[in-house]
Structure 1
Amino acid sequence: MTVKLDFEECLKDSPRFRADIEVVQNDVSELETRLDKVRHMHRIHLHALRQKKKYRNLFSLSLPFLSSRDVRRFKDVRKEFERSSECLERAQERNAQAPRGKVHEVEEASNALLNARRSFRAEALDYVLEVRMNAGVLIKRGNDIHLKINICVWRMTSASVSVQQHTQFVLNAAREKRDMEQRHAAVKKKVSNGIAMEGYLYKRASNAFKTWSRRWFSIQKNQLVYQKKFKDQPTVVVDDLRLCTVKPSTENERRFCFEVVSPSKCCLLQADSDRQQQAWISAVQNSIASAFQERREDPHRGGGGGGGADQESEGCKALEEVQAIPGNKQCCDCGEPGPDWASINLGITLCIICSGIHRSLGVHFSKVRSLTLDSWEPELVKLMCELGNTVINRIYEARIDEITIKKPHASSPRGDKESWIRSKYVEKKFIQKLPETGRNPLLRRSSARRNRATTQDRTVQRPPIKPKPNRATLPRSTEEDLSGLHPGALLYRSAALQNFPVMADALAHGADVNWVNVAEESSTPLIQAVSANALAACEFLLQNGANVNQVDSNGRGPLHHATILGHTGLVCLFLKRGADYNARDKNQKDPITIAVDNANADIVTLLRIAKMNKEMREMDGAFGQSGDDTYHDIFRDFSHMASNNPEKLKRRSADPKS
């Protein structure tokens, strides 16, 4: 059998080539051990062979063809290959560390790398040629001779060995030879796995030392992965190339660097030359485009109950609606145009770099979602359209003119953006400070009216709030003066008024989203929003951590109140967010009983379907489906109707006695 190594893999010095070479070297080492055993056997049984002419001929013919000189030549070529490989590795490290500002060092390192690469390729090709021409033949002959000698030895000792032992001995030798051949056959098999680009890159670690390591990177199956050795499991840098972007990096002293940025991480890589850097950037960009194209052409994509085309259409519609809000066509934090990411609890749009920083803050600060790749529920789109970058920056950057910190721009380093975002949303350095007594004038009546006017001028027009007959304590007019309220009370009042800018301002100033108004039956901001049938306001509170099962002094949670008032859209929303449909109030009535008493068929249907779906999942156990398609279809239809055609849903305008 002739061992065949790929010359292309040899020139790239890929992990696959190194793995093939390692197998060959192990086999040659094993062959050398076998030769030692053969020589030992030859010395022991030489006197016996003199009496048997055919055995003497076997040894005299076989051994010269497989002398130690053949193995020694192979080892000498391998030694030269390893020496040149070490020289190349040192030249690559020197070239990578050469600072861009020192022209003399850069020139010396580049020339040294060029010479080392030429020398390595020459030695590597010689080594591969030696393997293909001689090593395979040596290994095959060694296996054949080993088998013949084993049979020969058995024949010499046949007087003391049974026929059964002889048969087993021959089978073992044949099996050993076959296993060796299969190993080489496996080495020869080359699987591409749809690799779009591969090669060595330096990768900077994310630890405190920021060390650089040389790894074999490849783009395959819409992922960027790397590995140290061929047998290692590839480490995934980017799970989905559609979620990342790539750009050159000049923020450090090393040359030929580029960044692959995703919402979850930023990976800094370094090529060996400017040409390789451009090739990798182009390859990543082309793979991103290909990933989007494959998604558009794949007829099987999309979630349960809805086709991929519908999901993509909804994603485009969400992007258009959200970006149409004032300020949303630029990233909220750095101003980069065309942002296609969003923070759904803040109600802002972000570029991919800022979205990654937001994601690193944790979901208690910012919940990041893609405007183009993720599915968008209609209530989330409605919420995003109620806020926007202009409104949120008016709150979180209220004191930007009073401070010396400069806001980053689109081309600013990632570190500057991260520092700004943490100062803005975590430390809240730029919001208007609360005075010791009362609210800041920003939220007095005139400002509240101005903020509401800004919101109502948008595409989604909101009807005036009508006070509920049984809610005498609720504000009777949207013109109520909200000054003087602390953040919790401010959130409580503004939730009933559906005043999103004021709600966002209250949360920015530390309002407890589950604040309890003891004077009004221990009601919460979420229950206040239910009373106003404010779907987007409820979603806003839920996205900011409101407890969907927190009850008032009557034992009624948001789901109870939505059922009593006949707000079908809110019932649908709360069930999707995990509301307990079995919870009983002080009258021992659960939402299903209340809906039946009120003869609200839509709400009864929703509650019973949710209950049935949960029971079916529990019956299926740990291996059951995550949800029934019919269940998701029905709830999706109700969500769309509640957001886009609320007049089609049955409502009750009064609170029946229950």
Structure 2
Amino acid sequence: MTVKLDFEECLKDSPRFRANIEEVQNNVSELEVRLEKLVKQCQAMLEAGRVYCQTSKSFVNGLRELGHQCCGDKMMEECLHKFSTKLSDILDSQGEVIETTQKSVKTKLQTFVKEDVRHFKDVRKEFERSSETLEGALAKNAQAPRGKQHEVEEANNALLNARRIFRSEALDYVLEINVIEAKKKTDILMAMLSLMETQAQFFQQGHTSLSELEEYRQKLNEEHTQFVLNSAREKRDMEQRHAAIKKKDVSYDDSIMDFNADAASGIAMEGYLYKRASNAFKTWSRRWFSIQKNQLVYQKKYREQPTVVVEDLRLCTVKPSSENERRFCFEVVSPSKCCLLQADSDRQQQAWMSAVQNSIASAFQERRDDSHSPRQRCSSMSATLGGGGGGGGGGADQENDGCKALEDIQSIAGNQQCCDCGESGPDWASINLGITLCIVCSGIHRSLGVHFSKVRSLTLDSWEPELIKLMCELGNTVINRIYEARIDEITIKKPHPSSPRGDKESWIRSKYVEKKFIQKLPETGRNPPVKRSSFKRNRTATQERTGPRPPLKPKPSRATLARGTGLSSSDLFQKNNMSNNKNVDDEEDLSGLHPGALLYRSAALQNFPVMADALAHGADVNWVNAAEESSTPLIQAVSANALAACEFLLQNGANVNQADGNGRGPLHHATILGHTGLVCLFLKRGADYNAKDKTQKDPISIAVDNANADIVTLLRIAKMNKEMREMDGAFGQTGDETYQDIFRDFSHMASNNPEKLKRRSADPKT
């Protein structure tokens, strides 16, 4: 430690000591002023550094976003990604420099000013106070009269006491002077050293980080040089072509495109035409027309869906229009409407009329060449259905049955009022929940997304038979027992028909999305695997043989609901099993099943309320039971020939192609067991008829081995229909009418007359 003042000198209190003290005091005062200014400057530097880092990070994020936008250019994307990553690393290091400066410089110097200098000032005040006291005692002692002994003694005692206090305070002050002098050196030097070391590390890291890109930067620089040369060359070529083209006459109309029926893009002709609207104003609009797939279509913007003007050019004719005041007009006339179009010139008008006529001729030629196409074979194959596939007098009867079924849906318990607000006469439905809704609540359900609710109109949309059957199995009363089981325990009030839309939306989200009102499951026994029942063993054995399917279990009553009526899951299933299915083991305990296993067992029992309850409690609709050959709830429903249960699972997101441990999906199992209605359902829902199990058999070969003519027919028709759709391309029809009629008949029979689907062919090759 450097000694600024000597302790012996302070006891003398000499003028030299006083001069030294005054010099020290001036130095400390000046040091305080400079340090306070330096601390403020340091704070300003830190704030500016943080702003710089934040702004730089925004710039780096902009580089990253530019790189994402340039994802089609690999070189640009790689360049921007690498540079933004390195700059981000450097900015992180700079942020560390700022934090270190905050701790080692600003905080250290600020502490020195606020604590050390303040303590120095306090000691200085005590010293000055004792010095003034000593001066007073000395003056009083000097003034004491010789003849007054008691005043002399009193002055002498006061002087001794003041001198003792002064010397003590003087020693303390000298010590504080020496301490602050030493501390000034150590603290300031330490702060500066720490700052320099941090700066050195920052620049070293930045140099190292950028040096890693040295080779890449050299490579990029060479590519940039080449780009500059190529760009200059291309610019020169374009300027030459531009000058050559400007010398030509560019006023002529060269936008005609020759008709090409065999164009690779499928577009035989395209270009701009004016189209007169069919409204009362008869306005003309310029649109981009094209002839493709024997259709005349137009669009306003490139990516919007084309609007079809003529669906089949074979049914129309084209002729010039001279009645209109506008020039270059022609008409495309079809049985249903007449479309008036206008070209830009006489040449374009003749070209478009010729293109339409050529398209008509090409369409008829394709029709003749395609007289033996899979579409015709599909129509002829429908004759093999005979009594089993026809369904007898067709459309009118099925339409009447559909109307009656919709009336049945509305007559289910609770379905006369909206499930969520109670408005009477609801004409909308949620098909995956099995409830009816008013128009306001249906709009709210639609906004939830199809993973929560799939909305359909009871009057405006078409309804498949299996979907009607599913709706009749559930209903508002059943679903509300599940989703409103705890409504009495919660203070939220259920909305009524006149409630504001916001109240209804809040209620519906709380009910179906947040599931606030369902009964909580017990915490015990949530994850044990399902025990293998004798029913499952019998079903597995049945799958291994190709004979007739086993007798089905009777379905439990739909009115029985475990959590809605106070029965436990165990009571519910034991009751159903004892009364309806003698094949299930008596010792099987289902009370502790978690939602996935509960859905698994209830699918086999066709108990829709419990299935809906399990889904409400978060059951995975594709839950896999590892203890039973990785079977799923959908495969369990197939085993019971439960058409409506399969539809319920599919509407709630079940994977129609998820296979079990033997590689067999639901379509395999339905084919093996001879469930024709289920085969029809799965094919309509996109099942893969080419999928093979572990024995390398697909559903078609299994159906042929089982001599099931109806299933063979369905599978082959589905295959041909897919081939026809692929031949038709993007603008083709959704399927052959014969295919649609056959599957509609099978769906109708599977839902209303399943006994008609039990026939088998005597000829395995049928």
Task: State the TM-score, normalized to the length of structure 1.
Answer: 0.49
Between Structure 1 and Structure 2, whose CA radius of gyration is higher? 2
